[in-house]
């Protein structure tokens, strides 16, 4: 189920509850109105579960691939506090915000992906279609080939005679890497390495901090206790390295520590976040301060993404020019030697 469909469902769910429609009736209405087959089937199951006496939380949490722990726990908080509409408003905001961030990232990466694909196509065409013809001419003239031309010839020979080896290594390596990333150890390794990458790493850290602060604030204002809040954040933060740290922080909090002290020893949380948490913990105004932190890091992420997308264009242009220049040298250096021989 895609984010726009989940957003639409949550808004319709909220509207019907606000209108005073009984839960079983509104679930039946939503099931009949929903066009997405998977979501329609799930709503039918939820309707039956609630009809048989399940709570809203229990019925929704049986479908974790659609309704995250965050979604289900916020429903439980709204159900127990009687503030289900406010909770659904906050849920809608979270899902819409995260969808916007992901869409912005995809949009920013579209141009680089297109350029890189074009680069590989141009590289392949030049290497297999253009270079070999010139190499035959140069060899026929008895020229000693310069280094760029020798490299191109070697790459051509490897592609023509051993393409299946390269393809096999790529396919097998890709499949193994994919399944490794599905494991807890693989996810932890991937995000740990990712956050050390210059430029990109800090962007992921800021994005995770923004998500942490926003969800923390919303869960606390919805009446979820702080340990349960930390557990939910560990499951929904979307970054295995930070999730691992959050689990350790939660354990220390369960042992009697506050939140600021365990956070201060964590690797990825910034001094600004830690200071704001300490101030909020002292003043009892933690949820409002965390919302301010989320807003600050949202702005920083947007600015960093804008700067990154602006920087990618020139870098790719230089890369494209370097590839074309390399092939030009591979062709024109021997041609220059051939011209000198003719003279």
pLDDT tens-place string over residues 267-292: 888 888 889 988 988 888 888 898 89
Residue 77 lies in a domain: yes
14 belongs to a structural domain = yes
pLDDT tens-digit readout, 32-58: 888 888 989 999 999 999 888 888 888
Structure tokens at 154: 């070697």
**Which CATH number is 34's domain given?**
1.20.81.30
Q: What are the pLDDT digits (tens) for 184-201?
A: 899 999 999 988 888 788
| Statement: residue 304 has pLDDT above 70 | yes
Residue 36 lies in a domain: yes
In a domain, 71, yes or no: yes
214 assigned to some structural domain: no
Structural domain boundaries, residue 88: 3-96
pLDDT at 330 over 90: no
Rounded percentage of the chain residues whose pLDDT exceeds 70 = 97
Q: Report the number of distinct structural domains present in the chain.
A: 1
pLDDT digits (tens, 9 = 90+) for 224-251: 888 888 888 888 888 889 988 998 899 8
**pLDDT recorded at residue 110:** 80
Say what percent of the chain tops pLDDT 90. Answer: 6
Highest mean pLDDT: which of 143-147, 275-279, 310-314, 337-341? Answer: 275-279
Is 329 within a domain? Answer: no
- Please check whether residue 203 lies inside any domain of the structure: no
pLDDT of residue 204: 85
Mean pLDDT of 152-168: 83
Q: Is residue 32 a part of any domain in this protein?
A: yes
Residue 42: what pLDDT? 92
pLDDT given for residue 148 in this prediction: 83
Average pLDDT, the chain: 84
The residue that leads in pLDDT, 77 or 31, is 31
Report how far residue 169's alpha carbon sits from residue 172's, in angstroms, rounded to the nearest whole number: 5
Predicted pLDDT at 343: 57
| pLDDT band, residue 341 (cuts 50/70/90) | low
What pLDDT, on a 0 to 100 scale, did the predictor assign at position 85?
A: 87
Q: Give the predicted TM-score (pTM) of the model.
A: 0.74
């Amino acid at each position: 189920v895609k984010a726009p469909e989940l957003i639409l469902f949550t808004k319709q769910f909220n509207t019907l509850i606000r209108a005073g429609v009984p839960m079983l009736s509104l679930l039946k209405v939503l099931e009949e109105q929903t066009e997405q087959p998977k979501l329609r089937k799930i709503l039918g199951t939820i309707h039956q579960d609630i009809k048989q006496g399940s709570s809203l939380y229990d019925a929704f949490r049986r479908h974790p691939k659609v309704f995250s722990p965050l979604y289900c726990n916020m429903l439980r908080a709204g159900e127990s506090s009687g503030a289900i509409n406010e909770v659904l408003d906050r849920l809608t905001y979270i899902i819409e915000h995260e969808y916007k961030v992901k869409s912005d990232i995809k949009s920013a990466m579209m141009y680089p992906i297109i350029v890189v694909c074009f680069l590989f196509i141009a590289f392949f065409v030049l290497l297999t279609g253009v270079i070999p013809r010139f190499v035959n001419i140069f060899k026929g003239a008895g020229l000693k080939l310069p280094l760029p031309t020798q490299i191109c010839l070697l790459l051509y020979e490897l592609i023509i005679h051993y393409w299946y080896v390269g393809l096999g290594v790529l396919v097998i390596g890709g499949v193994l890497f994919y399944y490794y990333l599905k494991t807890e150890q693989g996810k932890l390794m991937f995000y740990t390495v990712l956050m050390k990458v210059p430029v990109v790493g800090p962007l992921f850290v800021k994005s995770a901090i923004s998500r942490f602060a926003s969800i923390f604030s919303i869960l606390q204002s919805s009446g979820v206790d702080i340990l349960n809040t930390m557990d939910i954040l560990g499951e929904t933060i979307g970054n295995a390295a930070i999730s691992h740290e959050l689990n350790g922080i939660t354990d220390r909090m369960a042992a009697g520590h506050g939140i600021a002290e365990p956070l201060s020893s964590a690797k990825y949380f910034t001094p600004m976040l830690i200071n704001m948490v300490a101030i909020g913990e002292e003043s009892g105004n933690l949820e409002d301060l965390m919302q301010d932190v989320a807003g600050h890091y949202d702005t920083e992420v947007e600015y960093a993404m804008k700067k990154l997308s602006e920087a990618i264009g020139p870098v790719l242009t230089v890369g494209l020019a370097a590839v074309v220049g390399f092939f030009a040298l591979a062709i024109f250096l021997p041609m220059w030697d051939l011209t000198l021989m003719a003279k």
